[in-house]
Structure 1
């Protein structure tokens, strides 16, 4: 995919995707916190990392699907 040239500054597409995924993660985290409080998630820190990576994968897939 490459990078975006923004007024002479090259910004990697993966950085843009990571920022979008982080914003989506922050929007969805209150629902995850409710599951943690109820005890449904045993290791919340590892779950949060995996959940962020899953959101990043979905954002990347969306970018690839729209780019083609």
Structure 2
């Protein structure tokens, strides 16, 4: 993908995507915490890691679609 030059500092595009995916994860965790308290999610750490990976893939895919 490349990098972005911000005032002479090169920032990888993947870092920007990961930060955006983390912000989305925090929003998803607001609703997910209720499911954890009710016992619907047994291993919340593994579940949230998987959700983060899926969100990162979706954000990366959105960045690719925006470039076309």
Shift in Å, 1:48: 0.8
Deviating beyond 6 angstroms after TM superposition, the runs of 4 or more aligned structure 1 residues are none
Shift in Å, 1:28: 1.4
Two-structure CA RMSD over aligned residues (Å):
0.7
Partner of 1:47: 47
Shift in Å, 1:8: 1.1
Shift in Å, 1:42: 1.1
CA distance in 2, matches of 1:35, 1:54: 19
Long gaps (5+) in structure 1: none
Partner of 1:9: 9
Normalising by structure 1, report the TM-score. Answer: 0.94
Shift in Å, 1:7: 1.2
Equivalenced residues, count:
68
Shift in Å, 1:38: 1.1
Partner of 1:64: 64
Partner of 1:24: 24
Long gaps (5+) in structure 2: none
Deviations, residues 33-65 of structure 1 (Å, cap 9, x unaligned) = 111111111111100110111111111110011
